[in-house]
């Protein structure tokens, strides 16, 4: 028995050369990149600031955290963040539908598919932040800019995922409807929409989750939501306010995540 | 309005065997009004102003138009921060990925049987996971001063939290047979993990690192906005100065870089799986 095992050991492919090559090349890459990561030591008072931030989180500004009337308090900022993400996602999802159909191989011809896929890839590549910086020049600071930014930056991913579902459409159902004499609108209503609806909604919910996170960073450029006050609290050394805001951010992201996961599970299992 | 009544209260149906049934009300009766309400409420909260969009929306395309043609002479200035951005994401991703492995080990249900360790670990990481990279970068900038180091740490921390979750979910799906066999022959849990679980997850681990690297290049590009190094700083400056042709060049390079990295990474990941 043990001889058999030893034999197997000897016959095992020798991978150590490859493994060492990978490790060495990783070390080489790290060595190359070190000059770019200029470490200047901890900023003067840096450790004190870090300590203050931690203290602030454990001793948040309660007045700010539970004030339900003021527009500058955490509850309203959380609401605003979710509202921006919600409208932005919806906006992006609606814009993504025509693009997705134009990029599906079973719907349109090859040249159209290729050019639309390229357009979708382009939209997807740029970070949401870049769109935000551009939109702020158009509609000025405010939550509406956040909505537009999230909308445009969501198109790429949503459309890409939609395409996969459209390409998976079961043609048999549509042919059956055709055979029983349905017109085009009926075919779409009873053949296409029921097949796509669940997956589309599930994808959109997933993107909504991501967008709630994105909405928090949009505030940094003045596009509404909880990000702006976070930046100001840090800049103004208001640690207790920062603690309250960070708690709000964590709560809102966790809540939306839990809700979205539950809804998506429901959609997937159909109950 | 007949369809509306039918929608709210479907009329009774007589089946062929004479049985009378009440069809279920469509779920859209609840969903549609809720959705309309949510959209309207959000529109009020976010101060949606379609008039402004109609009046000034074309400006977005004016800005894009001004980026063309890009200012090619500016290439030499763009390259260095672009490389820095890539390096920040490489180091950050590697650091986070290495750290995620031990923590994933400590958070996997099938390896660690102590509920306390599991839940504390997971709770800790799910809280840290909610904070976006940019918030980390903003905080680290205050602690370590402006520069690439803060950005690298932010990327590393973010990668650490997200990869820990991905990894423990992966570890929970592996075949535990070899692990139990090795453990029953007297090896420690860690040793059994190293010999039995790691080979099973290695391929997907590398593929996750690549996937995270893709994401991180994109986030590293914007870290500069809060002064945490990379090309974002330049981007922000050009936007403020309205030098759109130079911004165009930056965006073009960014687009090409991200596209190249994504394609290579996808190629490697497809081979790994």
Query: What is the distance between the alpha carbons of residues B42 and A212, in angstroms, rounded to a whole number?
Result: 13
Asked if the model's pLDDT at residue A90 lies above 90, the reply is yes
Residue A232 burial (CB < 10 Å; 0-12/13-18/19+)? middle
Q: Give B247's pLDDT tier (boundaries 50, 70, 90).
A: confident
Please identify among residues 40-69 of chain B the ones whose CB lies closer than 8 Å to any CB of chain A: 41-43, 45-49, 52-53, 56-57, 59-60, 63-64
| Closest of A152, A90, A107 to residue A126, by C-alpha | A152
> Can you give the residue range of the structural domain that contains A151?
52-269
- According to DSSP, residue B186 is labeled T
Chain A's closest residue to B230, CA to CA, is A36
pTM for the full model?
0.84
Q: Is residue A207 part of a domain?
A: yes
- The helix (run of H) or strand (run of E) holding residue B21 is strand B20-21
Region(s) of chain B under CATH 1.10.3720.10: 72-272
- The percent of residues in chain A predicted with pLDDT above 70, rounded, is 96
Q: Is residue A3 part of a domain?
A: no
Query: What is the distance between the alpha carbons of residues B229 and B152, in angstroms, rounded to a whole number?
Result: 9
Residue-wise burial string across A88-123, b where 16 or more C-beta atoms lie within 10 A, e elsewhere? bbbbbbebbbebbbbbbeeeeeeeebeebbebbbeb
Q: Is residue A226 part of a domain?
A: yes
CATH number at residue A61: 1.10.3720.10
Residues A11-43: pLDDT tens digits?
877 777 877 888 888 888 888 777 777 666 666
Q: Is residue A34 part of a domain?
A: no
Q: Is residue A133 part of a domain?
A: yes
* Region for B187 from its dihedrals, namely left if φ exceeds 0, alpha if ψ lies in -120 to 50, beta otherwise: beta
Spell out the CATH class of B72-272.
mainly alpha
Asked if the model's pLDDT at residue A270 lies above 80, the reply is no
Q: Is residue A39 part of a domain?
A: no
Please identify among residues 132-161 of chain A the ones whose CB lies closer than 8 Å to any CB of chain B: 133-135, 137-140, 142-144, 146-148
Per-residue model confidence (pLDDT) at position A97: 93
**Total domains, chain A:** 1
Q: Is residue A32 part of a domain?
A: no
Query: What is the distance between the alpha carbons of residues B136 and A120, in angstroms, rounded to a whole number?
Result: 29
Average pLDDT over residues B85-91: 89
Per the CB < 8 A criterion, the answer to whether A245 and A77 are in contact is yes
Per-residue model confidence (pLDDT) at position B174: 87
- B192 against A71, higher pLDDT: B192
Contact between chains at A133 and B236 (C-beta distance less than 8 A): yes
């Amino acid at each position: 028995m043990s001889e058999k095992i030893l034999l197997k050991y000897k016959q095992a492919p020798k991978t150590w050369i490859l493994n060492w090559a990978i490790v060495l090349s990783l070390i080489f890459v790290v060595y190359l990149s070190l000059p770019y990561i200029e470490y200047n030591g901890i900023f003067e008072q840096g450790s004190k600031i870090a300590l203050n931030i931690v203290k602030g989180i454990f001793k948040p500004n309660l007045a700010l955290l539970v004030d339900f009337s003021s527009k500058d308090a955490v509850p309203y900022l959380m609401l605003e963040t979710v509202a921006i993400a919600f409208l932005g996602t919806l906006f992006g999802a609606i814009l993504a539908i025509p693009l997705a159909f134009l990029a599906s191989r079973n719907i349109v011809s090859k040249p159209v598919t290729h050019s639309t896929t390229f357009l979708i890839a382009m939209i997807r590549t740029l970070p949401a932040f870049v769109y935000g910086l551009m939109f702020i020049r158009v509609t000025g600071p405010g939550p509406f800019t956040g909505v537009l930014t999230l909308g445009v930056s969501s198109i790429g991913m949503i459309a890409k995922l939609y395409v996969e579902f459209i390409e998976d459409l079961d043609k048999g159902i549509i042919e059956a409807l055709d055979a029983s004499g349905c017109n085009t609108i009926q075919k779409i209503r009873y053949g296409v929409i029921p097949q796509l609806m669940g997956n589309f909604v599930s994808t959109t919910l997933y993107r909504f989750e991501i967008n709630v996170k994105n909405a928090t960073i949009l505030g940094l450029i003045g596009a509404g939501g909880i990000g702006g006050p976070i930046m100001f609290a840090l800049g103004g050394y208001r640690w207790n306010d920062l603690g309250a805001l960070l708690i709000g951010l964590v709560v809102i992201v966790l809540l939306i995540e839990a809700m979205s996961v539950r809804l998506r599970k429901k959609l997937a299992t159909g109950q | 309005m007949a369809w509306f009544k039918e929608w709210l209260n479907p009329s009774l149906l007589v089946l062929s065997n004479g049985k009378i049934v009440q069809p279920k009300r469509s779920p859209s009766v609840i969903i549609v009004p809720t959705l309309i309400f949510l959209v309207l409420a959000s529109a009020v909260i976010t101060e949606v102003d379609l008039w402004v969009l109609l009046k000034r929306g074309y400006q977005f395309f004016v800005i894009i138009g001004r980026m063309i043609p890009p200012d090619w002479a500016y290439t030499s200035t763009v390259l260095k921060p672009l490389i820095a951005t890539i390096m920040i994401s490489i180091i950050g991703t590697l650091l986070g990925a290495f750290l995620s492995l031990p923590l994933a080990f400590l958070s996997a249900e099938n390896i660690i049987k102590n509920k306390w360790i599991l839940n504390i670990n997971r709770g800790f990481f799910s809280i840290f996971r909610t904070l976006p990279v940019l918030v980390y970068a903003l905080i680290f900038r205050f602690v370590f001063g402006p520069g690439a180091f803060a950005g690298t740490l932010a990327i590393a921390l973010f990668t650490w939290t997200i990869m820990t979750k991905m990894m423990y979910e992966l570890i929970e799906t592996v075949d535990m047979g070899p692990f139990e066999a090795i453990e029953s022959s007297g090896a420690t849990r860690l040793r059994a993990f190293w010999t039995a679980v790691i080979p099973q997850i290695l391929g997907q681990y590398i593929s996750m690192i690549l996937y995270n690297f893709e994401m991180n290049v994109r986030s590293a590009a914007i870290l500069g906005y809060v002064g945490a190094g990379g090309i974002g700083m330049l981007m922000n400056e050009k936007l403020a100065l309205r030098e759109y042709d130079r911004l165009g060049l930056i965006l073009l390079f960014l687009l090409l870089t991200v596209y190249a990295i994504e394609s290579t990474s996808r190629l490697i990941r497809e081979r790994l799986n």
